Amino acid sequence: MAKKDDIVVGLDLGTTKVCTVVAETSPAGEVSVLGLGTAGSLGLKQGMVVSIDDTAEAIARAVEEAEGMSGVEIRAVVAGVSGAHLKGINNRATVGVKGGEVRPEDIAGVLDASRAVELSRDDEIIHVTPQRYVLDAQDTVSDPIGMAGNLLSVEAHVITGAGTAVQNLTRCIQKAGLEVSGLVPQPLASALAVLSPEELELGVALVDIGGGTTDLAVFVGGSVRHTWVLGLGGSHVTRDISFGLATPIKEAERIKVQFGFACPDRVEDDDRIEVPSVGGRPPRTVSRRLLAEIVEARMEEILGLVAEEIERSGLRRRIGSGLVLTGGGALLSGVVELAGRATGLAARRGNPVGLGGLTELAASPKHATGVGLARFALAQLVSPVGSVPAPRGVSRLKSWVKEFF
């Protein structure tokens, strides 16, 4: 298999599936998807590892499929981190500018100072994202490097998580024979795949509905202002269907994907579906409206809790672009309409954008995190000394991701 230094791999570790995205940057600055692999997973619950062996096996299967599709040998990945253990904190720090001119080391110093947040015993800092810089009396400086000043401040969003959870995630990846070249909180990765710069600037709430968790990230003025993870997701809908219709979990998942609807009032009274039974009993036919009522009840709970968290953040009135739903749960019919009712915000479904290569395969909400991780990794690539400068489109991609993070 081929080995190339300018190819990256994003690894989305979900509760129900592992997704691997192999990508490179096109001259136009697009994320050109070369390969994609998925594998069912039983080794994670709500973003936390419950079986290292099962998770490592799922990673290996997803990687093998992506390698076969792309013809690229995968050695290292940028992985997503999720789970209810993640917490977002806004913090401010100030440092003195050496020599009266802001240099890259001053930026690094003030960002390092912003990491001084109160942590519980097991927590560690996973990611720090600058929101805005202040140089002396000059408020909101986008790029202070090279500017004259004496005091440099930063307002940053610091994401923390359980250290043991991160270590176990890393061990799973390493057991699958891979190196971890970076860890990125999944809501930030998903946002990077599906949101436009205009939405980020005007204010937007991203809701990533995964199998075991629902991630919320609120952006205002181009920067992340609030993050939150709810320990409920699509797998809870599946379990509700399994219990409510007395059918096996595997069949409940199929029924959810094929017939699930989050708006019962839009289902015809005589619309019926066949449901396999348990214990060798014969299959039955049930009203599709009953299925929709089960789906609506759980999705209404999830989206209601998201709406409450948006209110708690104090940013509700600053979300001018509304709500963007992504993740596998966003594929449920009627969920966008339900989200609009539950939050009072205009809502849309978020598909990965700015793609090349295997666009039809990758441009789905369920692949948003994997694509976003690949986009983040591509922007971190540094051309070796003496090499040809990156094409203009690639430079734009790196600039956007640099501002985003």
The pLDDT profile of the chain, 405 residues, written as one tens digit per residue, is 555 668 999 999 998 899 999 999 877 778 899 999 999 988 988 888 999 999 999 999 999 999 999 999 999 999 999 988 999 999 999 999 988 999 999 999 999 999 999 998 889 999 999 999 999 988 878 889 999 999 999 999 999 999 999 999 999 999 999 999 999 999 999 999 999 999 999 999 999 999 999 999 999 999 999 999 999 999 999 999 999 999 999 999 999 999 999 999 998 888 999 999 998 889 999 999 999 999 999 999 999 999 999 999 999 999 999 999 999 999 999 999 999 999 999 999 999 998 888 888 899 999 999 999 999 999 886 433 222 233 334 444 455 455 555
Phi, psi of 243 (to 5 degrees): -70, -45
Nearest C-alpha neighbor of 191 from the set 310, 331, 338, 365: 365
Residue 312, class by beta-carbon neighbours within 10 Å (0-12 exposed, 13-18 middle, 19+ buried)? exposed
Non-local CB neighbours of 278 within 8 Å, separated by 6+ positions? 246, 247, 248
Question: What tokens were used for 368?
Answer: 């948003």
CA geometry: angle 41, 42, 45, nearest 5 deg: 110
- Residue 37: predicted pLDDT: 96
Q: What are the residue boundaries of the structural domains of the chain, listed by start?
A: 87-163, 197-350
Question: What tokens were used for 376?
Answer: 């983040």
- Residue 139: predicted pLDDT: 81
Question: What tokens were used for 321?
Answer: 């672009």
Question: What tokens were used for 123?
Answer: 């927590």
- Residue 47: predicted pLDDT: 83
Question: What tokens were used for 93?
Answer: 């720090």
- Residue 1: predicted pLDDT: 58
- Maximum CA pair distance of the chain? 81
- Residue 401: predicted pLDDT: 58
User: Are 123 and 117 in contact, with CB atoms under 8 Å apart?
Assistant: no
What dihedral do alpha carbons 170, 175, 181, 185 form, nearest 10°?
-30
Architecture of the 87-163 domain? 2-Layer Sandwich (3.30)
SS3 category, 132: strand
Q: HSE of 382 in the Cβ direction (CA atoms, 13 Å)? A: 2
Whole-prediction pTM value?
A: 0.89
Question: What tokens were used for 199?
Answer: 């939405």
- Residue 380: predicted pLDDT: 80
**Neighbouring C-beta atoms of residue 59, cutoff 10 Å:** 27
Strand partners, 2: 72
The CATH superfamily of 197-350 is ATPase, nucleotide binding domain (3.30.420.40)
SS3 category, 8: strand
From residue 248, give the alpha-carbon distance in Å to each of 15, 252, 253, 283, 286: 18, 6, 9, 12, 15
What dihedral do alpha carbons 117, 121, 127, 133 form, nearest 10°?
0
- Residue 399: predicted pLDDT: 53
> How far is Cα of residue 256 from the mean position of the Cα atoms in its chain?
22
Non-local CB neighbours of 393 within 8 Å, separated by 6+ positions? 25, 26, 27, 28, 29, 30
Could you tell me the end-to-end alpha-carbon distance of the chain, in angstroms, rounded to an integer? 33
Report how far residue 172's alpha carbon sits from residue 350's, in angstroms, rounded to the nearest whole number: 29
